Copies of this chain bind each other. A is one copy, B any other.
Amino acid sequence: MTIGFGVIGAGMIGTEHARRVNNVLTGGEVVAVNDVNAEGAKRLADSLGGNVKVFDSGHDLINADNVDAVMVTSWGPTHEEFVLSAIKAGKYVFCEKPLATTAAGCQRIVDAEVAAGKRLVMVGFMRRFDSGYRLLKQAIQDGEVGEPLMLHCAHRNPEVGETYVTPMAIQDTLVHELDVLRWLLDDDYKTVQVVFPRTTRHSHSKLRDPQVVLMETVKGIRIDVEIFVNCKYGYDIQCSVVGEDGIANLPEPQSLLVRKDAKLYTTVLTDWKKRFVDSYDVELQDFIDGIGSGDLPGPTAWDGFCAAVASDACVKAQETGNIEPVTMPARPAFYD
C-alpha cells in the first residue's frame, strides 16, 4: 500500500520533503499540494509529475479521499489549525516545528488527539533521527557511561541576520535541544536559567549573543547549553553526556582528516542544512512506516507541547534573570 500525501506549504522545506517522499523514500507518494501562494503550489505539483492535484484550501486537501497523510510545512502560525483539521478528519499528520506557536495551541492539539483516541500527529524534530544522537542514546541506555549527571551542549551558527532577535535564540534555536535532550535522557525539565556573557562584536543591537541556558531536570541532571549564533567559524552542534562512569560525546560529522598549510584538520560544516539532512530521510521514512504498522513514532504532540512549555520558561528566564520553573501538567496516559 502506498500512502497518499497531501502537502500544505510549498516552500523550501515542503518542496524538499515532497521530493523526498517521491524520490528517496518508499511507501509514500505525494498526491495533493496546497500553498497560500497558488503559483508556488502549482510549481511544486508540476515538478512532481503527473497526478498531483493542487488545492486552493488546505482544509479541502486534508479532506480529499486519496490523502492518507498530511504534511504541514506552511508558515508557523498556520500549523495549529491544519493539524487540528487533520485530527478531525482522522488523517495522519506530520507537522514541521513548531507544532503551534503557543503552549496553549499545543495543548489544544494534545487534547484533540487524546479525544480522537488514536496517535495521528508527528512533529518534525529531526534530531531524534540523527545517527549520532541515536548512538548517544543507545550508549546511555546500555549504561556505557553510567547514569547521566550532566550535559554540556552547544548550538552554534556562523551568523544570523538582523531579524533574528534575542528570544529567537530560544524559540528557533534552542528548541531543537529542548526536544532532543528530553528524549535523550527520558526526562523532563524542572527549572531553567539564562545567563548572558558579554556580546560578540559580530552581533547586532537586538540580539544578545552568545547566551548560556542552564537547566535542571526532574531527575536532577544539570544541563548547560551554549547558544552562539554568530560564532563565525561554523555550524557546530555539541553534546557531551557526563555520566557516573565516563563521558560520551556526540560524533563530529564525517570529514576527511587533512594535513595542509601547517594544520592537521577536519572540516566543520558551515551550512546548517547539511548537518541533519540524512535525519529528514529517516524521520519521514519512519513516519510512513509508522502509518503502515499503526505505530507512529515520536516526537508526539505531547513532545511538541513540552518543547513549547520549556521554551516559554526560557524566554521568561531571559527576561527576569531568575531561575524559572518549568510547570507542566501530568502527562496523559495516552502518551505512555
Inter-chain contact B246/A232, CB cutoff 8 Å: yes
Let me know if A112 is at the binding interface, CB within 8 A.
no
* Set B152, B210, B222, B233: member contacting A260, Cβ < 8 A: B233
Let me know if A293 is at the binding interface, CB within 8 A.
no
Inter-chain contact A201/B147, CB cutoff 8 Å: yes
Contacts of A12 in B (CB 8 A): none
Contacts of A267 in B (CB 8 A): 262-264
Inter-chain contact A150/B252, CB cutoff 8 Å: no
Query: Nearest chain B CB to A239's CB is how many angstroms away?
Result: 10
Inter-chain contact A132/B26, CB cutoff 8 Å: no
Q: How many copies does the complex hold?
A: 4
- Expressed in whole angstroms, the Cα–Cα distance for A266 and B220 within the complex equals 28
A244 and B25 in contact, given A195-B222, A197-B221, A257-B249 (Cβ under 8 angstroms) = no
Query: Nearest chain B CB to A227's CB is how many angstroms away?
Result: 11
| The stretch of A65-73, A78-86, A211-219, A328-336 that contacts the partner chain | A211-219
Contacts of A168 in B (CB 8 A): none
Closest residue of chain B to A131 (Cβ to Cβ) is B254
Inter-chain contact A220/B198, CB cutoff 8 Å: yes
Let me know if A272 is at the binding interface, CB within 8 A.
no
Interface residue tally on A, bucketed by range = 35 or more
Let me know if A136 is at the binding interface, CB within 8 A.
yes
A254 and B222 in contact, given A26-B26, A202-B244, A265-B264 (Cβ under 8 angstroms) = no
Which residues 238-262 of A have a CB within 8 angstroms of B?
Answer: 242, 244-252, 254-262
Query: Nearest chain B CB to A136's CB is how many angstroms away?
Result: 6
Closest residue of chain B to A27 (Cβ to Cβ) is B23
- Expressed in whole angstroms, the Cα–Cα distance for A279 and B252 within the complex equals 20
Closest residue of chain B to A266 (Cβ to Cβ) is B264
Let me know if A115 is at the binding interface, CB within 8 A.
no
- Expressed in whole angstroms, the Cα–Cα distance for A220 and B144 within the complex equals 38
